């Protein structure tokens, strides 16, 4: 309750400062909340950008595809590197080093390979989401108690059953953290990809409004995108809480 009040106060303060600063600044570069609200209304009523639903839907689909690929590839790579020690020792440090490279440096070549359409956005979202998931799985495999694997094998578990019944539950905690980070980065990858160059999607709309100096529309679009990002993170945190309750 106290936290909620404080949060509300902080939000109000930020809006007030924004309003004052926005009124003082050049309206082409900055807009106060009082100007954003009508723009947001026009946006949501599909007056300013009638293709908002289509763009939003496209972005959501790109994120879903990128995330699904990142989860599948991250799990497979992490488990493979974790279970085969030689492979892990060979590739693990290289993965960590690649993760440290700012991923945006790969984007130009991704656009060359995959073109301006959805494929390059999915590829970029995948690239960002893949590393934290893989590294979380790799760290998670190390937490698995090898004795439990022996027990499972003694009771007839094959490799798949060992992964499903021993490894995944053992590393759930780490895994869920990695999956959450991976989702956040997938979202970032797709939207950044759209902003850097796309024909459609939320990023393309943002780029359009920004390029035409329609600053109020631009801020309204950013707010909608923000809602999408916050929504996906809330969903992820709910899943994380459930997983946590389950392991404890």
3-state secondary structure of 116: coil
DSSP sequence for 130-163:
HHHHHHHHHHHHHHS-HHHHHHHHHTT--HHHHI
C-beta closer to other proteins: residue 106 or 173: 173
Tell the smallest beta-carbon distance from residue 35 to other proteins (Å). Answer: 53
121 touches 196 (CB < 8 A): no
Single out the segment in contact with other proteins by CB under 8 A; choices: 82-90, 95-103, 151-159, 201-209. 151-159
169 binds other proteins (CB under 8 A): yes
Nearest C-alpha neighbor of 179 from the set 41, 91, 72 = 72
Binders of other proteins among residues 130 to 149 (CB under 8 A) are 145, 147-148
How many Å apart are CA 119 and CA 29, to the nearest integer? 33
C-beta closer to other proteins: residue 104 or 148: 148
- How many residues contact other proteins, by CB under 8 A? 18
151 binds other proteins (CB under 8 A): yes
83 binds other proteins (CB under 8 A): no
How many Å apart are CA 218 and CA 35, to the nearest integer? 11
* Contact pick of 156, 160, 211, 245 for other proteins (by CB under 8 A): 156
Q: Which residue has the tokens 């493979």?
A: 80
Tell the smallest beta-carbon distance from residue 243 to other proteins (Å). Answer: 11
8 binds other proteins (CB under 8 A): no
Question: 93: exposed, middle or buried (C-beta count within 10 Å: 0-12, 13-18, 19+)?
Answer: exposed
Binders of other proteins among residues 171 to 230 (CB under 8 A) are 172
For residue 70 the two structure tokens come to 């990142």
247 binds other proteins (CB under 8 A): yes
Binding mask 86-125 for other proteins (x = CB under 8 A): ----------------------------------------
157 binds other proteins (CB under 8 A): yes
125 touches 186 (CB < 8 A): yes
How many Å apart are CA 182 and CA 75, to the nearest integer? 12
* Contact pick of 8, 57, 84, 246 for other proteins (by CB under 8 A): 246
Count of residues making up the chain: 248
C-beta closer to other proteins: residue 4 or 245: 245
For residue 219 the two structure tokens come to 């801020």
34 binds other proteins (CB under 8 A): no
* Chain residues that interact with other proteins, rule: CB under 8 A: 145, 147-148, 150-157, 161, 165-166, 169, 172, 246-247
């Amino acid at each position: 309750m106290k936290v909620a009040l404080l949060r509300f106060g902080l939000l109000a303060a930020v809006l007030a400062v924004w309003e004052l600063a926005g009124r003082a600044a050049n309206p082409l570069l900055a807009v106060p909340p009082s100007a954003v609200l009508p723009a947001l209304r026009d946006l949501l009523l599909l007056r300013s950008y009638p293709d908002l639903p289509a763009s939003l839907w496209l972005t959501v689909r790109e994120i879903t595809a990128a995330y699904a690929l990142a989860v599948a590839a991250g799990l497979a790579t992490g488990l493979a590197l974790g279970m085969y020690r030689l492979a892990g020792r060979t590739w693990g440090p290289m993965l960590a080093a690649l993760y440290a490279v700012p991923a945006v440096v790969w984007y130009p070549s991704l656009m060359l390979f995959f073109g301006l359409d959805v494929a390059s956005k999915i590829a970029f979202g995948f690239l960002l989401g893949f590393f934290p998931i893989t590294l979380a799985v790799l760290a998670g495999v190390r937490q698995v108690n090898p004795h439990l694997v022996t027990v499972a094998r003694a009771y007839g578990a094959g490799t798949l059953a060992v992964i499903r019944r021993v490894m995944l539950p053992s590393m759930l905690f780490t895994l869920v953290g990695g999956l959450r980070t991976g989702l956040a980065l997938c979202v970032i990858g797709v939207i950044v990809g759209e902003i850097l160059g796309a024909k459609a999607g939320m990023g393309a709309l943002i780029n359009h409004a920004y390029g035409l100096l329609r600053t109020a529309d631009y801020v309204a679009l950013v707010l909608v995108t923000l809602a999408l990002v916050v929504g996906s993170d809330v969903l992820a945190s709910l899943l994380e809480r459930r997983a946590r309750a389950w392991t404890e």
